[in-house]
Structure 1
Amino acid sequence: MFPPLQNDLIIRAALGKPVPRPPVWLMRQAGRYLPEYHIVKGTRDFFETCRDPEIASELTIQPIDHYDGLIDAAIIFNDILVIPQAMGMKVNMVDQVGPQFESPIRKPEDLDRIDFNCDVSEKLSWSFDAITLTRHKLKGRVPLLGFCGGPWTLMCYMIEGGGSRIFRFVKEWLFRYPEDSHKLLKGITDVAVEYLALQVKAGAQMLQVFESWGGQLGPDDFDEFALPYLRQIAHEVPLRLAEMGLERVPMTIFSKGSWYALDELCDSGFDVVSLDWLQRPEDAVKIARGRVSLQGNLDPCVLYGSDEVIHEKVRKMLKGFGKQRYIVNLGHGTHPTMSADRVGYFLEEVMLASEE
């Protein structure tokens, strides 16, 4: 049994229930901008850190402690690339470069070395252990979020071998090998469904799917190669939870740069659609029409600004979204170069503005 939840604001907001103020959390809130992160991580490799439940749990809780009373959710410290790893691919995290795959997928025959039937419970057991440990250590202070990468985004990494500016190799797959592209996307999706469901079994109280490279697809290609698989996740995770005797939890989709797909995402089966800073809050509210709750969407770089700028931007954002069916967040993640004090000032301004 887990400790009873003391702060359920984000759960209520996600489900469209009345809240006294909008909840707030930050993407990448457990990370390198916090000085205590570096102390705990030490010289460990990034993925080694993720795979140590005790360390991952401590890093997850750091922002909850650092900004005591100012953050309404914890998100488990992990990475979206654990799904490709579970499917048999080797990934290294290189300092100042990012993730690098040792042998990217480059031709259809390479799919033969991908384990589409991997045992998720065994391959990612450390992830579930970290979630369970963190739920207990949080003592119900705030809900714990689990997550995974979106199928299209994971396909990008698996084929490009890392980050990219032009996405040459993965786009070649879409337009030269569409059937194989769908095979890979479907395989990733199936693993993602099981992974998300098992996170809930381990103790996650809410889930988010990060389709970080969604904006690299035009509207038609998004409809073909991204949206169907996001819908599959939104539809099948609750079914899998029911099979496991578990209750459904709120689910959020964040598809960066996919402003053109907001209407479709609002009908995709997710409870919350998270937005980057490329969309005006007022416009997003009109498109959503109360079908989902919205999350976002301050440009993270605003946190480099002055007190006056942060003060103004926060209030404009909250005015645009309103205070119901809304979760305050950045339009993407925090940066390693950000000041922890500036992040704290932003959170304090959110609280002040919510009371005005």
Structure 2
Amino acid sequence: MVADPSCACEITLQPVRRYGVDCAILFSDIMTIPIALGMEVEMRPGPYFPRPLESDEDVEKLAYNPAYMNDVYAALKLVRAELDPAKAVVGFCGAPWTCVAYMVGKDKAKAWAHKYPHRAHAALRKCTAVAIDFLIKQYHAGADVLQVFESQAADLGPNDFRNFALPYLTEIAREVKRACPHAPMTVFPRGAAHYATRWIAQGTEYDCVSVDWGTEPKMAREMAGEDLTLQGNLEPDVLYEPVENIRKEEYR
């Protein structure tokens, strides 16, 4: 469905039509970058990489095929053409560490990165270059906001986050902003916002941090300062409660 622009457009627009939300999040997948680099991905529970990254040769073989992304840009153009101009379209990509974690295997990625740091950083650099190009082209195709999903940040402690995630997240924001100065950017360091928000606020060009539910809002605001927007933080299971309880949590 991700590779079918018409289908991706329809799925993207359905929540807007049904619930009147104020933005449309592009129906896509964070596995787009690994696939565009030539990795085979099977969408069994996982996702599953039948030939994960292991050796230096595996990393060297990673080669970006920009044409693979064309369906995403086509879907964005369709969404932007059909959506109310007052509503934003959110484009996104998987962050480098998250992509590499899947490409190696989530259960062994951190050990692999520590054992073969030169190999890990080579893979991270390749994912970073693709992410920059991908986000810039999404913006030009009609995305109003760009989000970077560091979904596997929880697997990293503070030191590993500074080594394997933060430099690449910083580079992505810097280079995308260089090409698209007016593009709002947000980053989601899932499971790491309780320490990473401060570094993102002080040393990167992101406009917003998506804060997971495990971070105390007051602490996040103190780390973010006055200029960085915070988004998210709602405990997902609260959505099973009565509407009035959900409203209270929204404004907590």
Q: Which has the higher helix share?
A: 2
**Structure 2 Cα separation of the partners of residues 178 and 124 of structure 1:** 29
**Structure 2 Cα separation of the partners of residues 266 and 112 of structure 1:** 34
Matching residue within 273, 276, 279 for 2:209: 273
- 1:219-238 alignment, distance < 5 Å: 219-238=158-177
Aligned-pair distance for 1:306? 3.1
Q: Report the 3-state secondary structure (helix = DSSP H, G, I; strand = E; otherwise coil) of the residue aligned with 2:48.
A: strand
Deviations, residues 71-111 of structure 1 (Å, cap 9, x unaligned): 111111000101100000111212xx231112111222211
Q: TM-score, normalised by structure 1?
A: 0.68
- Larger relative CO (CA 8 A, sep 6+): 1 or 2? 1
**Structure 2 Cα separation of the partners of residues 139 and 314 of structure 1:** 25
Identity across the alignment (%): 40
Matched, 1:252 2:252: no
Aligned-pair distance for 1:282? 1.4
**Paired residue for 1:326?**
none
**Structure 1 Cα separation of the partners of residues 244 and 23 of structure 2:** 27
Aligned-pair distance for 1:221? 0.9
**Structure 2 Cα separation of the partners of residues 139 and 287 of structure 1:** 35
**Structure 1 Cα separation of the partners of residues 119 and 11 of structure 2:** 38
Structure 1, gaps ≥5 residues long: 1-48, 242-246, 317-356
Matching residue within 48, 53, 56 for 2:8: 56
Matched, 1:206 2:139: no
Aligned-pair distance for 1:174? 1.6
Matched, 1:82 2:32: yes
Matching residue within 210, 231, 236 for 1:295: 231
Q: Report the 3-state secondary structure (helix = DSSP H, G, I; strand = E; otherwise coil) of the residue aligned with 2:42.
A: strand
Q: Report the 3-state secondary structure (helix = DSSP H, G, I; strand = E; otherwise coil) of the residue aligned with 2:90.
A: strand
Aligned-pair distance for 1:154? 0.3
- 1:117-132 alignment, distance < 5 Å: 118-120=64-66, 122-132=67-77
Letter in 1 for 2:31: L
Aligned-pair distance for 1:63? 0.4
Is residue 76–residue 141 contact of structure 2 (8 Å, CA) maintained in 1? Answer: yes
**Paired residue for 2:219?**
283
Aligned-pair distance for 1:225? 0.7
Aligned-pair distance for 1:307? 3.7
Deviations, residues 279-330 of structure 1 (Å, cap 9, x unaligned): 11111112211131110110111111234532432232xxxxxxxxxxxxxx
Is residue 208–residue 231 contact of structure 2 (8 Å, CA) maintained in 1? Answer: yes
Q: Report the 3-state secondary structure (helix = DSSP H, G, I; strand = E; otherwise coil) of the residue aligned with 1:112.
A: helix
Larger radius of gyration: 1
**Structure 1 Cα separation of the partners of residues 138 and 113 of structure 2:** 31
Letter in 2 for 1:223: R
**Structure 1 Cα separation of the partners of residues 150 and 115 of structure 2:** 22
Q: Report the 3-state secondary structure (helix = DSSP H, G, I; strand = E; otherwise coil) of the residue aligned with 2:233.
A: strand
Matched, 1:138 2:83: yes
Matching residue within 111, 121, 140 for 1:172: 111
**Paired residue for 1:28?**
none
- 1:1-356 alignment, distance < 5 Å: 49-68=1-20, 71-94=21-44, 97-115=45-63, 118-120=64-66, 122-160=67-105, 164=106, 167=107, 169-241=108-180, 248-258=182-192, 259-267=194-202, 268-316=204-252
**Structure 1 Cα separation of the partners of residues 102 and 50 of structure 2:** 11
Letter in 2 for 1:65: R
Aligned-pair distance for 1:112? 2.9
Is residue 194–residue 240 contact of structure 1 (8 Å, CA) maintained in 2? Answer: no
Q: TM-score, normalised by structure 2?
A: 0.95
Aligned-pair distance for 1:260? 1.4
Aligned-pair distance for 1:141? 4.0
Aligned-pair distance for 1:183? 0.8
Is residue 177–residue 205 contact of structure 2 (8 Å, CA) maintained in 1? Answer: no
Letter in 2 for 1:260: Y
Q: Report the 3-state secondary structure (helix = DSSP H, G, I; strand = E; otherwise coil) of the residue aligned with 2:59.
A: helix
**Structure 2 Cα separation of the partners of residues 283 and 112 of structure 1:** 42
